Amino acid sequence: MILNLGTYPPKQCGIATFSMDLRNSLLKNGNTVQIMAVSDDKSEYNYPSEVIYNIRQEEKQDYARAASFVNSSPEIEILIIQHEYGIFGGSHGEYILQFAAKLKKPYIVVCHTVLPRPRRQQKAILKNLCSRSSAVVCMTKRSARLLSNLYGVPKELLNVISHGVPEFKRHPAEELKRKHNLSGKKLISTFGLIGPGKGLELGIKAMSEVVRDFPDATYLILGQTHPMLKKKEGETYRIMLENMVQELNIENSVIFVNRFLNDNELGEYLHMSDIYLSPYPNPDQAVSGTMAFAIGCGKAIVSTSYAYAIEVLENGRGLLAETAHPESLANLIKKILADTDLQSSLEARAYKIGKTWTWPNIGRQYSSVLADILKKSYGHKEQLNYVGL
């Protein structure tokens, strides 16, 4: 049995969704997968039956107890550890090392954040965690280079596997626009949990320039405020964005869809969008699941030039702004809106690679990595039947 350690729905965060999607893709590839969840201390989640153990994020002793549970469970043969500094307890998530140090089963690390300029402790944590692993998965070639050159991960442990995307059902854009009462609009969308660092201010300011030339352009900001941010600050950030829209006099050109969207709803919004806007201001952003979803839907994409975007939008799969400024983004949006041939070309190039990122394909790649480790660790082919061999 495979055990996945990370956040998990109904907790609403990107890694929780990733953990669920990865589990489902592994199940489709013939695996048995259960979940060890990490929960923030102040929240109680009604987890589904596949969650067999729960770690309280800031309870240090829980990590050692969890390792003992794994070690004493003969059916658990290998673990997948989803790593992002914010999901584990302690300074920069250091408590995960308590778990790894006591663990006697092989594990792989899935690196969601690979910092090019980490703090000393951040570097030490990821380096330590990877050094004990049997394999390391990252989602871009750039992250693989950083892990090798900066964090000292041996190249033979590294595996580049793209961020998976759902198998979205395709619908005609105009049909969806009619359904959502948006007929006649040119739609630009951004989705994800709302919070500082997503660049939504850039998107809103860019739209104030776009609508001067394209008054039918509408910006869809899809998603609710990040639950952890909402607990700390309420809706302060969203209110600031709404006030910015009013100050720029573009209330009729920006729509906030203030809720958590399931895959079917998200697929509809993406498929009716003319442009997907990814305005992250941080140039070191290593992965963007939201952009991966947009590529999976074959969207024309405008993005700031952050690390993940630079790599996945190469070869004409999208347009990159030279600077993270509203003017640069607005110019690229207008360029696409004025040229339907350009839009169609960008969509085709994005979809060509996006269709290779669907979760069943990604699940096969993870299954192969897991199978190789189990063969080396246990050496008996019959123990690998559940990973599709």
Residues 6+ apart with CB under 8 A from 372: 135
Give the separation between CA 138 and CA 326, rounded to whole angstroms: 31
Quote the tokens at residue 10: 């109904």
- Beta pairing, strands 33-39 & 158-160: unpaired
Q: What is the pLDDT at residue 385?
A: 41
Is-contact 369 108, C-beta < 8 A?
yes
Give the separation between CA 240 and CA 193, rounded to whole angstroms: 16
Q: What is the pLDDT at residue 70?
A: 98
Q: Which residue has the tokens 């941080």?
A: 282
Alpha helices per DSSP H over 277-358:
289-296, 307-312, 326-337, 340-354
Predicted confidence (pLDDT) per residue in 134-174, tens digit: 999 999 999 999 999 999 999 999 999 999 999 988 889 99
Is-contact 366 33, C-beta < 8 A?
no
Radius of gyration of the chain (CA): 21
Is-contact 157 254, C-beta < 8 A?
no
Quote the tokens at residue 354: 């996006």
Residues 6+ apart with CB under 8 A from 88: 38, 57, 63, 94, 95, 96
CA separation, residue 290 to residues 87, 156, 193, 269, 309 (Å): 19, 29, 10, 13, 11
Domains of the chain listed by start with CATH number? 2-164+358-387 (3.40.50.2000), 173-356 (3.40.50.2000)
Q: What is the pLDDT at residue 383?
A: 42
Give the separation between CA 213 and CA 215, rounded to whole angstroms: 6
Per DSSP, the three-state class of 225 is: strand
Give the separation between CA 252 and CA 52, rounded to whole angstroms: 48
Give the separation between CA 223 and CA 51, rounded to whole angstroms: 26
Give the separation between CA 341 and CA 254, rounded to whole angstroms: 26
Give the separation between CA 79 and CA 57, rounded to whole angstroms: 18
What is the percent of the chain where pLDDT is above 90? 85
Residues 6+ apart with CB under 8 A from 220: 187, 188, 189, 190, 191, 255, 257, 269, 273
Q: What is the pLDDT at residue 199?
A: 94
Q: Report angle CA 250, 255, 259 to the nearest 5 degrees.
A: 150
Give the separation between CA 357 and CA 308, rounded to whole angstroms: 15
Q: Work out the number of other CB atoms within 10 angstroms of the CB of residue 55.
A: 21
Q: Which residues of the chain have pLDDT under 70?
A: 42, 380-389
Predicted confidence (pLDDT) per residue in 264-323, tens digit: 899 999 999 999 999 999 999 989 999 999 999 999 999 999 999 999 999 999 999 989
Is-contact 348 316, C-beta < 8 A?
no
CA-wise closest residue to 364 among 114, 159, 170, 70 = 159
Give the separation between CA 109 and CA 126, rounded to whole angstroms: 9
CA separation, residue 385 to residues 177, 261, 362 (Å): 46, 36, 19
Q: What is the pLDDT at residue 260?
A: 84
- What is the overall mean pLDDT for the chain? 94
